[in-house]
Structures are given as C-alpha cells and as structure tokens.
Amino acid sequence: MLHYLQNLFQALDFQSMGDAALRVAAVFLCLTVHETCHGLAAYALGDPTAKRMHRLSLNPLRHIDWFGLVMMFAAGFGWAKPVPVDPRYFRKPKQGMALTALAGPVSNLLLALVTMLLGRLVYEYAPYTPFWDGLLSFLLLQLAPLSVGLGLFNLLPIPPLDGSKVLAMFLPDRAYVKLMRYERYGIIVLLLLSWLGLTGNLISNIIMAVYNGLFNLCF
C-alpha cells in the first residue's frame, strides 16, 4: 500500500495542479470584484437590495455560481450569481440600470490596470526568486488578461450581459421592455456563438489589443 501511494505521489503533476489553482483563484477574484462593484454602484444610486442580501462582500462564495464557473473553463465564458437590483429605487431606472451594469466591466479593467502596476513593482524592485517570478507570472499572465477578458466580454450587447443594459439606456421604452423580456434566452445565444466560433477571434483580438494598451501604459 505504501509503495502504491509513493508511486501515485510521484505521478502527480504538481506544476499543472498549481497552475490550475492559480487560475481558479484569478477567476474567483475577477468575478468577485465584478459582482461587488455592481452592488456598490446600485447602492450608491439608492438601491439597498444587494446590501440587504449581503452581496457587498469580497467573499467569493457569496458570488460564485458553480455551474457558471464550470462553464468558464469548459466553454470559455461563464457567469457569477447576478447581483439583485431593484430599479424602482432609481430616480431614472434605465440610466440607473445602465450605470450599475457598467460598473462591473469598468471594475475589471481597473483591476487589470492595478494588477499590471503591481507587476511592474515586482519586476523592478523584488529580488529574482521563484516566488516573485511566480507572482509576476500570475499577475501579468493570468489575472490581468482574465480581468480584461471578463470586462470586455460583458460589454457585448447580448442579454443578460452588462452591455445589453448599457445599450438599453439608449432605446425607447417599448424596445427596452422587449429586450429585457428575452434576457433569459441570451445564454443560449452565447453558447451557440461559442460553439460555432463566430465571435472568438474578434473578441480575442480586442482583448489582446486592450491588454497590450494597458501593458504599454504601465511598462
């Protein structure tokens, strides 16, 4: 039995396991910041719903949708638990919803910027050791690009993504109601687009362009 356990231990690929753990940590952080900022924006605009439901929290377990997390790794996109928002608290409901929705993607782009600035500090001032080298790789090669990708992907004007709520601000009331009525079918549309590969290259190119722009700004 001991010999079997020793062979199993030696067969484990700890490098791959460590990379996977860091990837999950990056996903948790990006989704948590994204959803918390939705709630903070709504609260600032007068809606206490997220606060009452304890969603103004940096605890990822309050925000993670486990099926959405699996889909992020399996299909290339996923989702967290939507922060509850009651537009009746907003003086201007459509504008309030748009600003609340926009807060998520903006927070991800700001997180990417802060991550790259931290990466620059590590690059310039930290001693060259395996720990600091690993931290630099995590910041610049996992956390920052994932945060940029999550932010830009959510700006697509497809319900239920945040971009659809931003677009809705510019629509007449009748069109706005119709768009929100079909929100539940948006995930199916996104799955089809992902399966057919119709938007992959375009989105990837935009993400890379924004990532490079932020990188050049920081370095």
In angstroms, how far is the first alpha carbon of the chain from the final one? 53
Provide the phi-psi class of 86: left if phi over 0, else alpha when psi is between -120 and 50, else beta. beta
The conformation of residue 82, written as its DSSP 8-state character, comes to P
What is each CA distance from 76 to 17, 44, 212, in whole angstroms?
19, 32, 21
Q: Which of 131, 150, 151, 154 is nearest to 22 (CA)?
A: 131
**Catalytically annotated residue among 35, 40, 43, 148:** 35
* Catalytic site includes residue 35: yes
DSSP structural state of residue 80: B
3-state secondary structure of 15: helix
- Report, as residue numbers or ranges, the catalytic residues: 35
